[in-house]
Chains A and B, each alone.
Chain A
């Protein structure tokens, strides 16, 4: 699994001695030292505590499909800088840095593949690309994915992981929410199934558009899912948030998602759903 780059961890010199490169990983959640190959075989879910490690878009696509993408769409799309946006760094520099660190394709990879021999259109977000934020490229790629699914009559599956709309493209980022929702309206009208998969974290403009519009909404265990971020809510209401607030289990309890599915079982769950919804 070449897509899985080890997270850059700050290790104390003591830990460094304990963790020879590329052989061992440490679970962020329970602290267990894990044999890297075993972790990979378990789809980057800690065998000890079930913590789901954050994985790139390609990892989710691998996990869901028979043999990856048969055709990748719109990889050439790259963010422009419509506002000449500059904070501590100019926006184009941030983009170039993210492309260097993560790869091309902005914060979502899209294409056509198969699940148990059934042709599907699939998209997966990559949180490493500027926090999985949705600017024009993410919105446009999701829209084109939906339009292509419509033309092919394929089911649509999107794996979300996003901090929300991308500030650096201002109002144009906000409009991507309308754009993607409009594309899903067409999918709905055409009677095609759309399965939305939520991973840690899915918040803001992505949650308030395509992520919550699935015919069926699945979530990985323990994922943070919400409209507003916990920090903003805490600031606004001036009190502590309840235990487990905005986690997958909380959303299931409140009727906002259909099922919580561990990553190693995700493909089977989606496949069975598509069996019933096609």
Chain B
């Protein structure tokens, strides 16, 4: 089974036509990969479907806008993948 990062990187590469080998765990989706908010909706949809979760984009955006979090916490891919793993674990635990 592929890792969360491998799945997310593949989703980003296919959704945004970004060469897969340029996507690393340290990549910032916005600052490094140039993904805009509209493309990120497509990525969020693909992630939601692939992992059976609902990325809390509204909550994350609010936290960033309020200065309670940085974009790095949610949009650097290794951090994004950690959040995905947490959401999957929470879903599994509540099932």
- Do the two chains belong together in a single complex? no
Hey, which bits of chain B sit against chain A, CB under 8 A? none
